[in-house]
Amino acid sequence: MAKASAPEAPAQDKEGVPARAPREPVNPPIIEVGVKQLRAAMKGVTEAIEARNTIPILANVLINCDGRRLTLIATDLDMMIEATVEAQKARGIAVTVSGKLLEDIAKKLPAEALVTMVMDGSQLIVSAGRARFRVPTLPVTDFPIMGSPDWQHEFESPASDWTRMLDAVRFAMANDENRYYLNGIYLHETDGGKLGAAATDGHRLAVFRMDMPDGGGGLSPIIIGRKAVGIVAKMLDELKPGDDGVSPPVEFATDGAKARFDFGTVTLTTKLIDAEYPNYGRVIPSATDRRCTFTPALLHEAVDRVTVVSSEKTRLVKADFKAATVLLEAASPENGRGTEELPVEHDGDDLTIGFNGGYLLAILEHLKGTTAEVLMSDQAGPTLWRTDDDAPAFYVLMPMRV
């Protein structure tokens, strides 16, 4: 029978003292977070990352830990989005990794899984179950952080109010490199002390006004850029009313050069457009002698039908207003001619006026209710569209030459 081998003697140092095995850190750097929570956070922050980037660090998200709170940040230098997540563990890791890659990994992992992240040299190991990824990193010191200024104005409003405001006007924003100051929403305090939002591309104007929230009085006029407006609108869509039906609050702050929207677990900070917005009040018609009352949904359907034959270049729709009807007409050499007549109530002399069909359709989509009105003066003057005198939103549309 073979003898059992003797146990090996413990390793000794140079002085003959047994050497101790290296101890694992008591609190090793690690992140453990649910896949659902990681997905939600990444969905928010990656909105700030441009698809085509010439600066590598701007394609990354900064991951940082504070107790059990995990923070993710992305920026394009003009905007910074920060999302916070309650993690199972969040300790000792500060790293930047590709935002798109981390988002794609999170999308592929099982929704109920737990993601573990640990550092291994210059790589971040991301694992869940049997899936394991080694993700390259870039230095945290290279990541640009947008500083928080001393905010001059801070107030909060229900998310539903912000949604109504942005939805009412943002379709009229310009996308013009030469008139860059029109590429956003003009937020300001009106002469009547209300919070006003306006957008125009030079052909149409959209204005929305609501009661000024507490703390907003004296607000300096600012222009929020179109990219930030679009992202804010998306984030507002994610905010659902609570069980009590109350819309959650959104905190807003500005110092005149930057603005911040705080949605709770996500915060967006953006630089503002540094320019003076034109005095839009000059184009709002005040001396109009023609008023036409109509049903917005019916007029929208009719305009949509007749523009089928219009030229893609001009999309001209001719409207012939009479006492009880409006005759719509669109035509093009290649597609022929389309007409439709609708019943309306028109006060004033007959008038034939032309509109860009696309612009007109966009305005009609935003006239909610069973009735609306358009105020006109002549073929060349601006036209005012609204549901009634007291409506929070109204629209100005410049005519086209017939």
Nearest-angstrom CA–CA distance, 199 and 178: 16
Looking at per-residue pLDDT, the higher value among 287 and 161 belongs to 161
pLDDT at 245 over 60: yes
Q: How many helices (H) and strands (E) does the chain have?
A: 6, 26
Tell me what the mean pLDDT of segment 216-222 comes to.
93
Cα→Cα distances 355→97, 226, 394, Å: 50, 25, 17
Lowest mean pLDDT among 116-130, 220-234, 300-314: 300-314
Tell me what the mean pLDDT of segment 313-317 comes to.
83
Rounded to 5 degrees, what angle do the CA atoms 45, 48, 54 make? 125
* Residue 192 CB coordination number (10 Å): 8
Predicted confidence band of residue 83 (pLDDT cuts 50, 70, 90): very high
- The CATH H-level (homologous superfamily) assignment of domain 285-397 is DNA Polymerase III, subunit A, domain 2 (3.10.150.10)
The answer to whether the CB of 44 falls within 8 A of the CB of 126 is no
HEC profile of 183-216: CEEEEEECCCCCEEEEEECCCEEEEEEECCCCCC
Q: What is the pLDDT of residue 91?
A: 87
Q: Which two tokens stand for residue 38?
A: 């990681």
Distance of CA 49 to the CA centre of its chain: 13
Predicted confidence band of residue 6 (pLDDT cuts 50, 70, 90): very low
Q: What is the pLDDT of residue 287?
A: 86
Return the top range by mean pLDDT from 9-23, 228-242, 289-303: 289-303
DSSP state of 297: H
pLDDT at 2 over 50: no
Residues near 363 by beta carbon (within 8 Å), at least 6 away in sequence: 204, 206, 385, 395, 397
CATH fold label, 153-271: DNA Polymerase III; Chain A, domain 2 (3.10.150)
pLDDT at 13 over 70: no
- Produce one character per residue of 105-135: b if its CB has 16 or more CB atoms within 10 Å, e if not: bbeebeeebbbbbbbeeeebebbbeeeebee
Predicted confidence band of residue 3 (pLDDT cuts 50, 70, 90): very low
Predicted confidence band of residue 377 (pLDDT cuts 50, 70, 90): very high
Nearest-angstrom CA–CA distance, 348 and 287: 13
* Residue 26 CB coordination number (10 Å): 5
Q: What is the pLDDT of residue 23?
A: 54
Q: Which two tokens stand for residue 337?
A: 């001619």
Nearest-angstrom CA–CA distance, 99 and 140: 14
Q: What is the pLDDT of residue 347?
A: 95
Q: What is the pLDDT of residue 126?
A: 96
Give residue-wise pLDDT tens across range 155-214.
999 999 999 999 999 999 999 999 999 999 999 999 999 999 999 999 999 999 999 999
Look at the alpha carbons of 21, 22, 27, 28 in this order and tell me if their dihedral is positive or negative: negative
| 23, burial (CB in 10 Å: exposed 0-12, middle 13-18, buried 19+) | exposed
Predicted confidence band of residue 20 (pLDDT cuts 50, 70, 90): low
All structural domains of the chain with their residue ranges: 30-142, 153-271, 285-397
Nearest-angstrom CA–CA distance, 249 and 269: 17
pLDDT at 115 over 50: yes
Task: Establish whether domains 30-142 and 153-271 are of one fold.
Answer: yes
pLDDT at 11 over 70: no
The answer to whether the CB of 385 falls within 8 A of the CB of 394 is yes
Q: What is the pLDDT of residue 5?
A: 46
Nearest-angstrom CA–CA distance, 99 and 112: 21
- Rounded to 10 degrees, what is the CA torsion of 245, 247, 248, 251? -160
Tell me what the mean pLDDT of segment 65-73 comes to.
89
pLDDT at 380 over 70: yes
Predicted confidence band of residue 149 (pLDDT cuts 50, 70, 90): confident
**Where do the H-state alpha helices sit in 204-250?**
226-238
Tell me what the mean pLDDT of segment 389-401 comes to.
95
Q: Which two tokens stand for residue 85?
A: 């997540």
pLDDT at 1 over 60: no
Cα→Cα distances 302→132, 291, 299, 340, 342, Å: 57, 19, 5, 7, 8
Q: What is the pLDDT of residue 12?
A: 56
The owner of tokens 């109204």 is: 394
DSSP state of 289: -
Q: Which CATH class is domain 30-142?
A: alpha beta
pLDDT at 98 over 90: yes
What is the average pLDDT value for the chain, to the nearest integer? 91
Cα→Cα distances 290→296, 345, 374, 376, 402, Å: 18, 11, 8, 5, 18
pTM: 0.88
